[in-house]
Amino acid sequence: MSETKLEAWLDETRTFVPSAAFVAQANADASIYPEAAADPVAWWGRQARERLTWDVVPSQNLEWNSPQATWFADGTLNASVNCVDRHVAGGLGSRVAFHWVGDIDGEAVSITYEDLLARVSRAANALVELGVVAGDRVAIYMPMIPEAVVAMLACARLGAAHSVVFGGFAAEALADRIVDADCHFVITADGGFRRGVATPLKPAVDEALLSCPNVRKVLVVRRTGEKVSWDPQRDVWWHDIVERQSSTHQPESFPAEQVLYVMYTSGTTARPKGILHTTGGYLTQAATTHYYVFDVKPDRDVCWTSADIGWVTGHSYIVYGPLTNGVTQILFEGTPDSGGRDRWWRIIEQYGVTILYTAPTAIRTLMKWGEDIPANFDLSSLRLLGSVGEPINPEAWMWYREHVGGNACPVVDTWWQTETGGIMITPLPGVTATKPGAAMRPFPGISIDVVDGDGISVGNGEGGYLTVTAPWPGMTRGIYGDPERFAETYWTRFPGSYFAGDGAKRDLDGDLWLLGRVDDVMNISGHRLSTTEVEHALVGHPAVAEAAVVGASDETTGQAIVAFVTLKLSHLGDEADQAALVHELRAHVASVISPIARPRQIILTPELPKTRSGKIMRRLLRDVAEQRALGDVTTLTDPTVVAMIDRLMAAHSGDDA
Ligand code: WTA
């Protein structure tokens, strides 16, 4: 985002003070900040002991050998017991854990904690029969159906790490992730439904597994009923093996630092990173942040996090945080317009949703469809709104507050990352006065700084790089199979601090505003993708010589992918050929990575702007893509290249959107 835009926001900033009614019932009051700050490690230790059920209560809190942390290391527990069994044992078995709502209108099922325990136990028994043992990695590639959550919890119950791969990823991306984590098992479905249409998943698994020789078994849920190809040695139907298992399973206890899951995310290189999370610290942060940030009342609230379980938001705020806290949730398979553009509002009205957590890109889409649609529904059950995934523009924030929250719900803009495991910067409802577009303050027990290029703290009214200056319980324990890359990526830029890759600004009151990524990571509709990952896919096409990819700002998706491509001599054809080729290249990227990586625009150009040392000047290309005045071009080998690209871009704008 540009500086001038931010200044404009700051000028028009309004502050919303929490209502007396909200303050009176809030889980947090202002004393939480000084309490946590007095001794953050001890504060987290208290959260861990209060919020989780331990088999062996830890005597330790933090061990810190930068950048390696362990939390609560001598404690033992079982994540699935914390999410399910203990609620049933505590007499809450008949509370609904999930109201699952299908993509297809009218398809729904409510699952109590008791049902969930039986389902997780059966699935765990089935995984044991298939040969899964503690320490294994299990890939999960599924639509948003109850079995996806059950599969995650069944793995956790056995001490096997799950690696959930978003169902929108293509076969090659799936294969890369399976191989990198050396998964020996895959749990999938024949397919899922999207806007009423059956979309297959199993064929992508079959294709991926051609290059994954170590996968022994594939467990397949029948969801769509479409015909799938079958390898009888390898493939097992979920209904054949899971349904006949006992509905009880004796859980084992695991050390706090047992790996709970691997989650792949894009960094600045072509290869995605397997971010590792362990059990005790991660669950502590997921549960504590869920409790305070969303002000949850487990006996009353109906929470709805609209993310897919294929992303970290789904892990922390559909599965581990809310289930640890024993709340009731919505699990929705569809998109905001599955069965009509009013679908979300119908769900909120029907189930009395109280807490909604979604992404700015979804809010902007709903906004585009118009406020008349939500106005037709009774949304008065809502009492809190959250946002995550990208900077939220004040217009979207205000629309959310007014037209969804009826001007009565606090809005919490929450900043965090796959690597942080849980929310790090956020207002606390009932405590913090909020500003549209600002994430405001570090969560209690979290230490944040905004620093300049030399690592010096900036003052109020200034911007810089966002860093975390002390370890926190949910922090990633590293990158799967690559400890050096972990230290190098996050801990060397500002020695002793974690560098998030984001820019941030402190306003004149010292409140935090996120400014987007400062590296080559793009954020498309809240999905992280690296520019190199997309470039890599493009140069994998036989026609492409070189590619440079930038994230250009986009009204709805936050950023959109714009690619500048030079062709091999053999592929330089006439205009018509080129239009067809652009089309083909966009489809190629979608098929190699995912439809979310499909470039909005591809500009074919005879040359790319390079510095004398041969580096592609992405900054200039971003200026071109965002139609901004061009920056300094004096370091280029040939300054006329950018002007030429600019002309090409203008001539082709809108061509292939
Ligand atoms: C961005 C998603 C501004 C940021 C939980 C971060 C945000 C990346 C916000 C992590 C926010 C997330 N305001 N930017 N409230 N939340 N981001 O790993 O650039 O998919 O580094 O985790 O999303 O994306 P990830």
H helices, E strands: number in the chain: 23, 30
Mutate to test the pocket of ligand 1, among 273, 311, 417, 468 (most ligand atoms within 8 A of CB): 417
Whether 416 lines ligand 1, by a CB cut-off of 6 Å, is yes
CA of 642 to the centre of ligand 1 (A): 31
Which structural domains are found in the chain, ordered by start?
A: 7-504 (3.40.50.12780), 525-651 (3.30.300.30)
CA of 409 to the centre of ligand 1 (A): 23
Hey, how many other C-beta atoms are within 10 angstroms of the C-beta on 386?
27
C-alpha to C-alpha distance for 401 and 15, rounded to whole angstroms: 13
Q: What is the pLDDT of residues 372-402, one digit of tens each?
A: 999 999 999 999 999 999 999 999 999 999 9
Query: Would you state the pLDDT for residue 633?
Result: 73
pLDDT of residue 657: 45
The string over 353-369, giving b where at least 16 C-beta atoms fall within 10 Å of a residue's C-beta and e elsewhere, is bbbbbbbbbbbbbbbee
Q: Is the CB of 312 under 6 A from ligand 1?
A: yes
The 10s digit of each residue's pLDDT in 594-628 is: 999 999 999 999 989 888 777 888 888 988 898 87
Cα separation, 230 vs 523, whole angstroms: 37
Residue 133's pLDDT is: 98
Tokens of 202: 């199993």
Whose Cα sits closest to atom 11 in ligand 1? 415
Phi, psi of 596 (to 5 degrees): -70, -15
Q: CA 260 to CA 134: how far, in whole Å?
A: 10
Q: How many residues comprise the chain?
A: 657
Q: For the residues of 73-133, what is the DSSP string, one character each?
A: TT-EE-HHIIIIIHHIIIIITTSEEEEEE-SSTT-EEEEEHHHHHHHHHHHHHHHHHHT--
- Local structure of residue 89 (DSSP, 8 states): I
> Residue 466 and residue 499: Cα distance in Å, rounded?
6
Q: Atom 15 in ligand 1: which residue has the minimum CA distance?
A: 415
pTM value? 0.93
545-558: pLDDT as tens digits: 999 999 999 999 99
pLDDT value for 512: 97
Please give the Cα distance from 29 to 412 (Å, whole number): 16
What residue ranges of the chain have pLDDT lower than 50? 1-2, 4, 11, 657
State how far the Cα of 419 lies from the Cα of 37, in Å rounded to an integer: 22
Task: Write out pLDDT tens, residues 282-341.
Answer: 999 999 999 999 999 999 999 999 999 999 999 999 999 999 999 999 999 999 999 999
Compute, in angstroms, the gap from residue 334 CA to the centroid of ligand 1. 23
Antiparallel, parallel or unpaired: β 463-468 and 448-451: antiparallel
Task: Please identify which residue in the block is written with the tokens 């995650």.
Answer: 152
Dihedral sign of CA atoms 296, 301, 307, 310 in order: positive
First-to-final CA distance of the chain: 22
Q: Rounded distance, CA 435 to CA 415, Å?
A: 14
Give 87 Cα–ligand 1 centroid separation in angstroms. Answer: 31
Report strand pairing: 384-388 vs 108-112.
unpaired
The candidate with the shortest Cα–Cα distance to 309, out of 476, 164, 194, is 164
Cβ of 517 closer than 6 Å to ligand 1, yes or no, is yes
**For helices 146-158 and 113-130, what crossing angle results, to 10°?**
60
Q: In what order do the strands lie in the sheet with 96-101?
A: 108-112, 96-101, 328-332, 302-305, 355-358, 384-388, 411-414
Amino acid at 417: Q
